Structure 1
Amino acid sequence: MDPRAAAIFRERGIQVDEKPGLTPEEFKAIIGDYDGLAVRSSTRVNAEAMDAAIPRLKVIGRAGIGVDTIDVPAATARGIVVMNTPFGNSITTAEHAIAMLFALAREIPAADQSTQAGKWEKNRFMGVELSGKTLGLIGCGNIGSIVADRAHGLKMKVVAYDPFLSPERALELGVDKVELDELLRRADFISLHTPLTDQTRGILSREALAKTKPGVRIVNCARGGLIDEAALKEGLESGHIAGAALDVFMQEPAKENPLFGTPNLICTPHLGASTNEAQVNVAIQVAEQMADFLLLGGITNAVNMPSLSAEEAPRLKPYMALAEKLGRLVGQVAGADIRSVAVEVEGAAAELNMKPITGAVLAGLMGTYSDTVNMVNAPVYAKERGLDVKEVRHEREVDYHTLVAVTVGTAEGDKRVAGTLFGNRAARLVDIFGVAVEADLTPRMIYIVNTDAPGFIGSLGTTLGKAGVNIATFNLGRRKAGGEAVALVAVDDPITPELTEELRKLPGVRQVVPLTF
């Protein structure tokens, strides 16, 4: 990695060790001592390595685009943020793809080899023009869109297959959005610019290659595994495919490959990001992103959680703290029978990035069931439990300057809690299951539901006093006189199971739940 990455970490006060060339065993032996891990493509970070890294490791930064060498699901399950730098080498990779197009069209590598051998085979190398030809892009994201722009400068027509490409974006790029079969039928040149996923693996299969136009030329500067290499070899040998230029292979480093030596094949050793500018850019970007996360809570270009800019993070931090407490509160009181979660924001909260607030709610809620939950893996845990999660943003006049509410669906009906911020900092509970309260959520509390009757507060205080538990604050609310009442009692001492049972035996008590925050 370019040394500027380490320099940025040090400038921002983060201790950094540079340890290239570690064996997997050496890597696992030391990784548990670090909060962050910055890697290039040669470092494989699997579940076993992550187990050695927890609980300290918080973020893995990939200086580059591809994260196929990182077990992202394993990182997510362990609450580790995975970041990449999708823009740092986009231009470099796109330019390499364009260079491959030229090399294919004019047979430049073979002509160079022939000429340097003294053969001067001018009539042998009859190329084709790029101008007027149709370029088919499989993937039209960061890199694909740059290739499209450069191709337009070469007067090529561009068609693109990308399920995530909107019609508006296609119009803006000047590309014709088509289905894959149509692209295969129309393209004179095909260039791949998609990540390797379960959906894209083998996207140019034997069947797909058979649908291509005779004489097609194919460029792959994206990921090995997108093309059936055996079928590509057959297509080149038969002449159906006029040429192929590969920068990536199914197995790398590709020191041996059945494709090598096939006519009209051009190969480079994964050079897509190999320019001085790209190496510097991705190193700087990964260091800045990781430093923002570790120091400020900013999340940029994460592949397993929503983004949260370093500028947003300080403003959102108190809201996320409030949301986490609300989620933890409703999780502890409602118990395990939660079927759905709705997160609502009103007032000033409605103007903010809502994803981190929802993530904090889920972290608090799922933290009721596991002590390894955070904002990264909470959505996964929620999905595993079959929870339906929705977000609601209200733009109405409200009683509070800002409000965050959490409603969970249970077999007994919906249960809703709501909180606000005082002075834009201090979290305050203002509603619990329809009962208005004004309560700070402190580290130790007791939630009590009882029948509103004279003498209850005295009995409660006496019982806690006999147990040696000091009351810090006492917050009360009720639905109506003589009806259901709620007490939220902040205490300085732990509430034992034995004390909980004593409190449940007090006259009029319906529910007692010790709370921790």
Structure 2
Amino acid sequence: MVTPRILVPEKVSVDGLALLSEDYEVVSRPQGLSPEELLSLIPSFDALIVRSETKVTAEVLSAAGSRLRVVARAGVGVDNINVEAATAGGIIVVNSPAGNIVAAAEHTVALLLATARNVGRADRTTKEGRWERGKLVGVEVGRKTLGIVGLGKVGMKVARMCIGLGMKVIAFDPYANPDLARQTGVERLVPRLQDMLPEIDFMTIHTPLLASTLDLIGETEFKLMKPTARVLNVARGGVYNEAALLDALNKGIIAGAGLDVFTKEPPDESTPAWDLLRHEKVVATPHLGASTVEAQENVAVDVCTQVAAVLRGELPTSAVNAPLILPEEYRALKPYAKLIERMGGLYTQNFVSPPSSSVGVGARHFELVYHGDLAGVSNSRPLLAALIRGLVSPFSDTAGKHVNIVNAMAVAREKGIIIREVHAHSGAGSGKENSVYASSVTLRAVAAEDEQQDREKTESVNAGRQVIEGYVSANNIYISRLGRFSANFIPEGTLLILHNFDEPGKIGGVGSVLGRHGINIRFMQVASLDLERSKAGQDGTKGQERTQSDMIATNGNDDSQHAQPPVSEGSSKKKGDEALMILGVDGDITKQVMEDLRTAEGILNVSLVQL
């Protein structure tokens, strides 16, 4: 296996990179890369970690080809990444929305106090030898009104800090939780931005830069404010219209501004941003909102952890171009995602791909049934992605590693895979009313609607026979049913699954074959027929007697060339005299090993599964 490579073209905290260096090849270029250099290098990397200076354009993402799997932004905003192009290419974009919350909020408060007390001008003129106390009279912030646009994590933190300074806080955010805002101390949420502008003394914005927030505050909005109002921006340049802000300061429409971000950084000469930097009513800083030692360590550790998770085929916690996964959801879903991916791989390798199969392909239509507590999950897309990755991995040159929550459905459409999710809450019809597990999962292959009348096709897609069930216990994953057989094994490593007649001597015979070939058995389990399901018709047979051909085709493969002779009418072989042997093994399972096992007496079929 080629060691995944990670490109880091900016300075990123060594604490984060240390998490990657042991398992991955990390190429760090803290001095930066030119656009041409990035285009040249990116095709040979699996991951890219950037801050704010590197522009990850559609051209860069296209040049990366199919190898690049994740782009990580060590910070909050991702406006330097073409997220749409990344999504189209199946590339996950992650960021660190929580790593610099405290730093950004504290810098906002620092600019608020600096603008209120003219700290920037006072520092500069004093160092120039001037003592201008009379010209630098400021205002107190206590008992003043702060307006916050965007009451997210940073906005809420700013609100708490400023309430502690004795300020009254009102906010505009159409998606804010009114109860949480009230508990924080926010006096009220206004329905429209314009509603709060006439009464605020300070305004701070904490929103991403989107089409809806570009030039959010312009000439009209400034004219609604008090002439004593001051504005702050530690979010994204472009939220304030810079030309309108410059004009408002020059004309005395507002009293001052504290700016940490600009539309272009650093600003070009002869632009409004350039003039704002030098304006006597502006306190300007060079994008320092997240520039604390603690914040840089936090965001680096966060995004590097997520990059490692994506490269391992696991779930990121903050995928920008995928459904939000909250930390508690991540912890709950992670073991089930692993289980479902293994179930998909087990399905393909056991029911579809043994070399002796004359079927060659398996079902393309599936039901994925969530039982118990798992039935209440609201964000099941990571589980769907895990199933698709597991199903396609045995036939993928990348072992399915490029399948993720961003591109999983596109991969499914491309391969004709259709999955119906069923949330089987407790109650009639769930089939799990008496389950001892808090949550479990069933994967069931079903026939397509247009195949219902085609007996030849539906024989290979028997809903009762191609069934896998599993559960999680203490974060360990287990398979509890495989086809018509009850089981209880951990799906990992190299497995041999043998379908055989249930009679004495079979275990010893299989052990002898493996012993001759130097194959070590790590564990073995005999899985018996689930007779209760058979009687109830839940295995697809509706309770009728199985013929010998039924038994041979149990796993969806017509391996009649290796079947035992037909059972005579007076034979002791009858319904129920079957079993599965599930062996975890170490060693090289060659074609000869498989052939010797298949031809052993009483063995109906053998599958090699590698998970």
TM-score category by the smaller chain? 0.7 to 0.9
* Shift in alpha-carbon separation, 1:407–1:489, aligned structure 2, 3 A: closer
Match of 2:46 in 1: 35
Q: Conserved in 1, the CA contact under 8 Å of 2:341 and 2:389?
A: no
Match of 1:18 in 2: 28
Q: Conserved in 2, the CA contact under 8 Å of 1:2 and 1:280?
A: yes
Q: Conserved in 2, the CA contact under 8 Å of 1:323 and 1:404?
A: no
Q: CA deviation at 1:227?
A: 0.9
SS at match of 1:490: coil
SS at match of 1:22: coil
Specify the code of the residue in structure 2 equivalent to 1:15: E
Q: Conserved in 1, the CA contact under 8 Å of 2:114 and 2:120?
A: yes
Specify the code of the residue in structure 1 equivalent to 2:94: M
Match of 2:84 in 1: 73
Check if 1:357 corresponds to 2:418: no
Q: Conserved in 1, the CA contact under 8 Å of 2:234 and 2:289?
A: yes
Match of 2:556 in 1: 489
Which structure has the bigger radius of gyration?
2
Check if 1:101 corresponds to 2:116: no
Q: CA deviation at 1:105?
A: 0.7
Match of 1:170 among 172, 181, 191: 181
Q: CA deviation at 1:31?
A: 2.3
Q: CA deviation at 1:428?
A: 5.8
SS at match of 1:273: coil
Distance in 2 (CA, whole Å) between partners of 1:275 and 1:36 is: 25
Check if 1:129 corresponds to 2:143: no
Match of 1:205 in 2: 218
Match of 2:340 in 1: 319
Q: CA deviation at 1:255?
A: 4.1
* Shift in alpha-carbon separation, 1:490–1:204, aligned structure 2, 3 A: farther
Q: Conserved in 2, the CA contact under 8 Å of 1:325 and 1:361?
A: no
Distance in 1 (CA, whole Å) between partners of 2:122 and 2:51 is: 34
* Shift in alpha-carbon separation, 1:317–1:198, aligned structure 2, 3 A: same
Q: How does 1:83-482 map to 2 (within 5 A)?
A: 83-175=94-186, 176-179=188-191, 180-256=193-269, 257-259=271-273, 260=275, 261-295=278-312, 297-305=314-322, 306-307=324-325, 309=330, 312-322=333-343, 344-347=369-372, 349-350=374-375, 354-360=380-386, 374-379=404-409, 392=423, 394-396=425-427, 397-398=432-433, 402-404=440-442, 419-421=468-470, 424-426=477-479, 477-478=540-541
Distance in 2 (CA, whole Å) between partners of 1:244 and 1:389 is: 54
Specify the code of the residue in structure 1 equivalent to 2:80: T
Unpaired segments ≥5 residues, structure 1: 336-340, 431-435, 440-474, 493-516
SS at match of 1:280: helix
Specify the code of the residue in structure 2 equivalent to 1:319: I
| Percent identity of equivalent pairs | 37
Distance in 1 (CA, whole Å) between partners of 2:95 and 2:13 is: 16
Specify the code of the residue in structure 1 equivalent to 2:321: N
Specify the code of the residue in structure 1 equivalent to 2:189: K
Distance in 2 (CA, whole Å) between partners of 1:299 and 1:214 is: 46
Specify the code of the residue in structure 2 equivalent to 1:142: K
Aligned length: 449
Distance in 2 (CA, whole Å) between partners of 1:166 and 1:94 is: 19
Q: CA deviation at 1:117?
A: 3.2
TM-score by length of 2: 0.63
CA deviation profile, 1:463-507 (whole Å, cap 9, x unmatched): xxxxxxxxxxxx98456979xx99863379xxxxxxxxxxxxxxx
Moved more, 66-75 or 417-426: 417-426
Moved more, 128-137 or 282-291: 282-291
* Shift in alpha-carbon separation, 1:403–1:313, aligned structure 2, 3 A: closer
SS at match of 2:26: coil
Distance in 2 (CA, whole Å) between partners of 1:238 and 1:408 is: 72
Moved more, 229-238 or 47-56: 47-56
Check if 1:50 corresponds to 2:75: no
* Shift in alpha-carbon separation, 1:437–1:388, aligned structure 2, 3 A: closer
Q: CA deviation at 1:96?
A: 1.1
CA deviation profile, 1:306-331 (whole Å, cap 9, x unmatched): 437478534431124436888999x9
Q: CA deviation at 1:281?
A: 2.2
Moved more, 315-324 or 421-430: 421-430
Specify the code of the residue in structure 2 equivalent to 1:264: K
Q: CA deviation at 1:99?
A: 0.9
CA deviation profile, 1:420-449 (whole Å, cap 9, x unmatched): 22894448676xxxxx9999xxxxxxxxxx
* Shift in alpha-carbon separation, 1:177–1:429, aligned structure 2, 3 A: farther
Q: Conserved in 2, the CA contact under 8 Å of 1:344 and 1:394?
A: no
| Root mean square deviation of aligned Cα | 4.4
Q: Conserved in 1, the CA contact under 8 Å of 2:468 and 2:479?
A: no
CA deviation profile, 1:211-257 (whole Å, cap 9, x unmatched): 33332210001001111111111211221111111111111221433
Distance in 1 (CA, whole Å) between partners of 2:177 and 2:467 is: 37
* Shift in alpha-carbon separation, 1:418–1:101, aligned structure 2, 3 A: farther
TM-score by length of 1: 0.73
Specify the code of the residue in structure 2 equivalent to 1:378: A
Specify the code of the residue in structure 1 equivalent to 2:124: Q
Specify the code of the residue in structure 2 equivalent to 1:199: S
CA deviation profile, 1:371-412 (whole Å, cap 9, x unmatched): 975432235789999x99977351334476633468999987
Distance in 1 (CA, whole Å) between partners of 2:81 and 2:222 is: 30
Specify the code of the residue in structure 2 equivalent to 1:91: V
CA deviation profile, 1:275-324 (whole Å, cap 9, x unmatched): 22222222222222322333472422221234374785344311244368
* Shift in alpha-carbon separation, 1:215–1:312, aligned structure 2, 3 A: same
Unpaired segments ≥5 residues, structure 2: 1-11, 352-360, 453-460, 488-533, 560-609
* Shift in alpha-carbon separation, 1:362–1:201, aligned structure 2, 3 A: farther
Q: Conserved in 2, the CA contact under 8 Å of 1:429 and 1:438?
A: yes
Distance in 2 (CA, whole Å) between partners of 1:491 and 1:51 is: 44
Q: CA deviation at 1:15?
A: 2.6
* Shift in alpha-carbon separation, 1:319–1:113, aligned structure 2, 3 A: same
Specify the code of the residue in structure 2 equivalent to 1:242: A
CA deviation profile, 1:162-188 (whole Å, cap 9, x unmatched): 222111211221112222222223221
Q: CA deviation at 1:66?
A: 1.1
Distance in 2 (CA, whole Å) between partners of 1:56 and 1:22 is: 20
Distance in 1 (CA, whole Å) between partners of 2:120 and 2:486 is: 76
Q: CA deviation at 1:332?
A: 7.9
Q: Conserved in 2, the CA contact under 8 Å of 1:326 and 1:361?
A: no
SS at match of 2:248: helix
